[in-house]
Chains A and B, each alone.
Chain A
Amino acid sequence: MAGRTPSQTIGPYYRFGLRWPEGGNVGFAASGKKIVITGRVFDGAGALVDDALIETWQRDPANAFPAPASGSANPHGFGRSDTLNGGAYRIETLMPGGSPPSIEVTILARGLLKALRTRVYLAAEADVRADPLLAAVAASPRVKTLIATPAGGNEYRWDVRFQGEGETIFFAF
Chain B
Amino acid sequence: MNDMTAPKPIDPPYAFEQYRSTHKRSPKEPLLALPAGALDIPGPLVPAGFIRDGDNDLTIHGKSMPLGERMFLEGRVVDCDGRPVRRSLVEIWQANASGRYHHPGDTHDAPLDPNFEGIGRTLTDDEGRYRFVTIKPGSYPWPNHAYAWRPQHIHFSLLGNAPVQRLVTQMYFPGDPLLDIDPIYNSVPDPEARKRMICRLDLRTGRENYALGYQFDIVLEGAKSTPMGL
Q: A residues engaging B (CB < 8 A)?
A: 1-18, 43-45, 47, 49, 51, 55, 57, 65-66, 68-78, 104, 106, 108-117, 132-137, 142, 162-164, 167-173
Contact = CB atoms under 8 A, between A and B. Distances in A.
B227 interface: yes
A43 B80 CA distance: 33
B29 A6 contact: no
Given A14-B155, A133-B34, A173 B27 contact: no
Which DSSP category, helix, strand, loop or mixed, fits chain A's interface?
loop
A113 B49 contact: no
Interface string B26-37: 111101111100
Given A18-B91, A72-B50, A108-B168, A44 B103 contact: no
Contacts, number: 222
Contacts of A18: 91, 93, 157
Interface of B: 10-14, 16, 19, 21-29, 31-35, 38-39, 41-47, 49-50, 52, 78, 80-82, 91-93, 95, 101-103, 105-106, 117-119, 121, 155, 157, 163-164, 166-170, 184-185, 187-188, 192-194, 196-197, 218-221, 227
A75 B35 contact: no
Contacts of A134: 32
Contacts of B22: 111-113
